[in-house]
Amino acid sequence: QVQLQESGPGLVKPSQTLSLTCTVSGGSISSGSYYWSWIRQPAGKGLEWIGRIYTSGSTNSNPSLKSRVTISVDTSKNQFSLRLNSVTAADTAVYYCARVVVAATWFDPWGQGTLVTVSS
Protein backbone atom coordinates (compact mmCIF):
# COMPACT_ATOMS: atom_id res chain seq x y z
CA GLN A 1 0.00 0.00 0.00
CA VAL A 2 1.52 3.26 -1.14
CA GLN A 3 2.01 5.96 1.48
CA LEU A 4 3.20 9.53 1.06
CA GLN A 5 4.80 11.76 3.68
CA GLU A 6 5.58 15.45 3.40
CA SER A 7 8.55 17.04 5.14
CA GLY A 8 10.18 20.44 5.31
CA PRO A 9 10.39 23.66 7.31
CA GLY A 10 7.21 24.78 9.01
CA LEU A 11 8.18 28.45 8.96
CA VAL A 12 9.41 30.48 6.00
CA LYS A 13 10.15 34.19 5.89
CA PRO A 14 8.40 36.44 3.38
CA SER A 15 10.17 36.74 0.00
CA GLN A 16 12.09 33.51 0.64
CA THR A 17 11.62 30.07 -0.91
CA LEU A 18 9.38 27.37 0.46
CA SER A 19 10.87 23.89 0.02
CA LEU A 20 9.07 20.64 0.72
CA THR A 21 9.77 17.00 -0.01
CA CYS A 22 7.36 14.11 -0.38
CA THR A 23 8.69 10.63 0.35
CA VAL A 24 6.87 7.73 -1.26
CA SER A 25 6.88 4.34 0.44
CA GLY A 26 5.29 1.04 -0.48
CA GLY A 27 5.76 1.61 -4.19
CA SER A 28 8.16 3.01 -6.75
CA ILE A 29 7.95 6.63 -7.81
CA SER A 30 9.45 5.44 -11.11
CA SER A 31 6.29 3.58 -12.05
CA GLY A 32 5.09 4.91 -15.35
CA SER A 33 1.50 4.64 -14.20
CA TYR A 34 1.44 7.73 -11.98
CA TYR A 35 1.94 11.44 -11.73
CA TRP A 36 2.97 12.95 -8.42
CA SER A 37 1.25 16.12 -7.33
CA TRP A 38 1.20 18.96 -4.81
CA ILE A 39 -1.97 20.54 -3.43
CA ARG A 40 -2.41 23.14 -0.72
CA GLN A 41 -5.13 24.30 1.63
CA PRO A 42 -5.12 27.58 3.57
CA ALA A 43 -6.64 27.31 7.03
CA GLY A 44 -10.41 27.02 6.86
CA LYS A 45 -10.42 27.21 3.08
CA GLY A 46 -10.61 24.97 0.06
CA LEU A 47 -8.07 23.02 -1.95
CA GLU A 48 -5.77 24.45 -4.61
CA TRP A 49 -3.82 22.28 -7.04
CA ILE A 50 -0.22 23.46 -7.33
CA GLY A 51 1.34 21.15 -9.89
CA ARG A 52 2.44 17.67 -10.85
CA ILE A 53 5.46 15.78 -12.10
CA TYR A 54 5.93 12.58 -14.05
CA THR A 55 8.77 10.17 -13.43
CA SER A 56 10.48 11.51 -16.56
CA GLY A 57 10.67 14.94 -14.93
CA SER A 58 7.95 16.46 -17.08
CA THR A 59 5.90 18.96 -15.09
CA ASN A 60 2.66 20.93 -15.22
CA SER A 61 1.66 23.72 -12.86
CA ASN A 62 -1.31 25.86 -11.94
CA PRO A 63 -1.10 28.97 -14.13
CA SER A 64 -1.82 31.11 -11.07
CA LEU A 65 1.46 29.91 -9.49
CA LYS A 66 3.46 28.75 -12.48
CA SER A 67 6.14 31.41 -12.44
CA ARG A 68 6.99 30.65 -8.79
CA VAL A 69 6.73 26.86 -8.76
CA THR A 70 9.42 24.26 -9.37
CA ILE A 71 8.67 20.57 -8.95
CA SER A 72 11.42 17.98 -9.21
CA VAL A 73 11.81 14.24 -8.72
CA ASP A 74 14.61 12.13 -7.25
CA THR A 75 13.94 8.55 -8.25
CA SER A 76 16.98 7.27 -6.32
CA LYS A 77 15.38 8.45 -3.09
CA ASN A 78 11.78 7.77 -4.14
CA GLN A 79 10.99 11.43 -3.48
CA PHE A 80 9.61 14.45 -5.26
CA SER A 81 9.92 18.04 -4.18
CA LEU A 82 8.26 21.43 -4.34
CA ARG A 83 9.92 24.80 -4.37
CA LEU A 84 7.79 27.94 -4.24
CA ASN A 85 9.71 31.17 -4.40
CA SER A 86 8.94 34.75 -3.36
CA VAL A 87 6.44 33.60 -0.75
CA THR A 88 4.00 35.90 1.05
CA ALA A 89 1.54 35.40 3.87
CA ALA A 90 -0.97 34.24 1.25
CA ASP A 91 1.14 31.12 0.77
CA THR A 92 0.53 30.04 4.37
CA ALA A 93 -1.28 26.71 4.10
CA VAL A 94 -1.23 22.99 4.71
CA TYR A 95 0.66 21.45 1.80
CA TYR A 96 -0.26 17.96 0.65
CA CYS A 97 1.41 15.61 -1.76
CA ALA A 98 -0.69 13.07 -3.61
CA ARG A 99 -0.51 10.40 -6.29
CA VAL A 100 -2.40 10.71 -9.55
CA VAL A 101 -3.12 7.84 -11.88
CA VAL A 102 -2.03 8.66 -15.42
CA ALA A 103 -5.07 9.17 -17.66
CA ALA A 104 -7.27 9.28 -14.58
CA THR A 105 -6.24 12.40 -12.68
CA TRP A 106 -7.98 12.07 -9.42
CA PHE A 107 -5.84 12.21 -6.26
CA ASP A 108 -5.32 9.02 -4.29
CA PRO A 109 -3.73 8.56 -1.85
CA TRP A 110 -2.70 11.77 -0.11
CA GLY A 111 0.01 12.48 2.38
CA GLN A 112 -1.02 13.66 5.84
CA GLY A 113 -0.08 17.24 5.01
CA THR A 114 2.37 19.70 6.50
CA LEU A 115 1.64 23.21 7.68
CA VAL A 116 3.86 25.94 6.30
CA THR A 117 3.56 29.39 7.80
CA VAL A 118 5.01 32.43 6.05
CA SER A 119 5.97 34.99 8.65
CA SER A 120 8.91 37.11 9.67
Partner 1 sequence: ERVMTQSPATLSVSPGERATLSCRASQSVSNNLAWYQQKPGQAPRLLIYGASTRATGIPARFSGSGSGTEFTLTISSLQSEDFAVYYCQQYNNWPPYSFGQGTKLEIK
Residues that bind partner 1 (CB under 8 A): 45-49, 60-64, 96, 104-113
CB atoms within 10 A of CB 13: 10
CB of 65 to partner 1, least distance (A): 9
**Is the CB of 16 or the CB of 110 nearer to partner 1?**
110
CB of 53 to partner 1, least distance (A): 13
Can you tell me the distance from the alpha carbon of 62 to that of 46, in angstroms, rounded to the nearest whole number? 15
Q: Are strands 114-118 and 93-101 parallel, antiparallel or unpaired?
A: antiparallel
Can you tell me the distance from the alpha carbon of 120 to that of 50, in angstroms, rounded to the nearest whole number? 24
**Is the CB of 10 or the CB of 76 nearer to partner 1?**
10
CB of 105 to partner 1, least distance (A): 4
Amino acid at 93: A
